[in-house]
Structure 1
Amino acid sequence: MASEQELQRLAARQHGLATRSQLTKLGFSRHQIEARVMSHRWRRAAPSVYDVAPGSIDERRALHAAVLSSGGLSSHRSAAALHELIDRPPLKPELVVAGATFPRTLDASVHRSRTIGPKDRTRIDGIDTTSVLRTLLDLGTVVDQMTLSLAVNRAIVTRKTTVLRLLAVVDVGPRMGQRGIGPLRGVLDHFRIDREACESKLESLLDEAVAAQRLPTHRQHRASVAGRRYRMDFAWPDHMVFVEVDGLAEHTERRAFDRDRRRQNDLVAAGWLPLRYTWTDLTQRPDEVVAEIVAVLTTRAR
């Protein structure tokens, strides 16, 4: 006997959708399925996929229906939107399938791949989709470099991945036969250059702001603390105060993040006071930054 309660639970997990095989397992006969479609209680959402809650609104339903129908994964721009790496999904669902078999009447952009491994798969909001790494690799084949660069930066800044992991994907890419290797490698090369340039520019901005106020400072000051040698961007040793500038993608590697926290904790334990400033601080309020530094130095001098 068909189970309505189990159907409701299934539909809740799948954006109001159910496949023919799932309905059969729940006890619905072919005749019952067709009868509900004919009576408009259900509607066909994709080949062998039914919308069993047609009154509700769900913007991801078309994508999920295409994934269920094809047996593939949400990919490329559709996956990038699910991972929140781009702002808008494509007008037509984008999928990747293993091999060449999928419903020919499926209203979706379908990419074929022979290299979909376990690490390439994940699930977001109940939808089977490509992993962040695989998504960025695929994305480079369908978007321009600027869009890919923004997606890579979002993935790193939101800690969905790291530069090291992306570089590892690029290194093994040729063995995977991926066309997206070249675009991703190009973005990563620019990312490294841009990050270094950004950090250098930030230090220059602070240097200019400090010099404009005739505030003497020590650049790249080194101190030995807890048996370790640390370098500080700007320091006032007599006051035990130092300033660090953080780039747009600072500490994108977990080990670098942990190392920086340990370094700062060691310096604080030794009596140093840290001040940190970002690109926004130094480009939008440089005078306030210097005033804050002067105020701290004045307090520490008492």
Structure 2
Amino acid sequence: MDMLDHWLSQHDGVITRAQAAICGLSGDAVDRLVRRGTWQTIHRGVYFVADRPFTADARIRCAVWGAGTNAVLSGEAAAFWHRVISEAPSIIEVTTPRKGRSRAEGCRLRRRDIHSKDIVERRGMRVTSLDLTVLEASIGKAHIMDRALQRHTNLEGLRQADARNPGRAGASEAKRLLKVAAHGARSEGERLLIGEFRSRDIRGWVANFRWGGYELEIAFAAEMVAIEIDGWAYHSDHDAFQRDRSRQNDITPNWTILRYTWFDLTERMDHVIAEIISTVDRIRCSQPR
């Protein structure tokens, strides 16, 4: 049983019927373990040893192996598997080829063909490559790409994965994120916020307002409220950080400063707008008439 114990310790306590046979167990032996309650049947032909916690890794492994031999972990769950994000998503996405048989057990199944360079094995399981994973997991959650660019990959790797897998769901959004990452998010964020001001007919603001030798990105000059937009952490460096903080310290005695990230503007714009309007209105009401 040494081979079996080693397998289970290396694979989160999860094993398939075919893998059990490689470890020397007959089909009858597997069935006896299930009847005794020593093994739990999670999906058809996929088992979990009941003497240990059913972890997030075990749940993901069961879903992928339950979908068939050609299944590949993808999306946010793949980002968790690559350790780009720290929490496993509630929905596990698994990708299988367009042709062939597969099952959707305990997962959201996608049928598509992935370039061979973007299918890798990590900890004994098939998963989309780090770069393709980052591209796909970042749709609607751009902070994943920012974090990955800081610690795990680079723009060229992401571009190559994007080119190898055209036509996939979210490809156009991924291209936009790559463009933002290449040029920084600050100017893009400024355009987003100004566009929102215009669409909501918010008035009284000025873009690129000069004051005391500084240029404020967006300012409500009469109320002295300045809006500063930070770029991605991927682009930050010590000198830029110091310049931004020195600039803020110089204008703070006179101005109220509201700082937002690109993610604030793309993921919670309503909150941003409400905070800006509330701040401007409060100052406006407190000014002498």
Q: Which amino acid aligns with 1:157?
A: Q
Superposition TM-score, scaled by structure 2 size: 0.62
Q: What's 1:76 paired with?
A: 75
Kept after mapping to 2: 8 A contact 1:156/1:163: yes
Inter-partner Cα distance in structure 1 for 2:172 and 2:79: 18
Give the direction of change, closer, same or farther, for the CA distance of 1:36–1:120 in structure 2 (3 Å limit).
same
User: Relative to 1, partners in 2 of residues 1:28 and 1:115: Cα closer, same or farther, differing over 3 Å?
Assistant: same
Superposition pairs for residues 212-223 of structure 1, below 5 Å? none
Which string of whole-angstrom CA distances, capped at 9 and with x for unpartnered residues, describes residues 142-191 of structure 1? x42xx1x2121111111x221122223334443xx323321111112222
Partner AA of 1:21 in structure 2: A
- Superposed displacement of residue 61, structure 1: 0.4
Higher Cα Rg, which structure: 1
**Cα shift at 1:88:** 3.2
Corresponding residue to 1:277 among 239, 249, 258 = 239
Which of 41, 46, 49 is equivalent to 2:46?
49
Unpaired segments ≥5 residues, structure 2: 189-209, 215-230, 250-289
1:100/1:139 CA distance change after superposition, 3 Å:
farther
Amino acid in structure 2 at the alignment position of 1:8:
D
Q: CA deviation at 1:15?
A: 0.3
In percent, how many aligned pairs have the same letter? 18
Q: How far did residue 286 of structure 1 move?
A: 6.0
In structure 2, distance between residues paired with 1:195 and 1:79:
25
1:195–1:248 Cα contact (<8 Å) kept: no
Q: Distance in 1 between matches of 2:120 and 2:54?
A: 24
Question: What is the identity, as a one-letter code, of the residue corresponding to 2:88?
Answer: P
The corresponding residue for 2:149 is 156
Check 1:247–1:103 CA distance in 2 against 1; reply closer, same or farther (3 A cut): closer
The two structures, once aligned, show a CA RMSD in angstroms of 3.3
Distance 1:178 1:61 in 2: 28
Q: 1:57 to 1:182 in 2, by over 3 A?
A: same
What is aligned with 2:178? 188
| Cα drift, residue 12 of structure 1 | 0.9
Q: How far apart in 2 are the matches of 1:164 and 1:16?
A: 37
The change in CA–CA distance for 1:18 and 1:169 in structure 2 (over 3 A counts) is closer
Equivalent residue letter for 2:234: A
Deviation at 1:66, TM superposition (A): 1.6
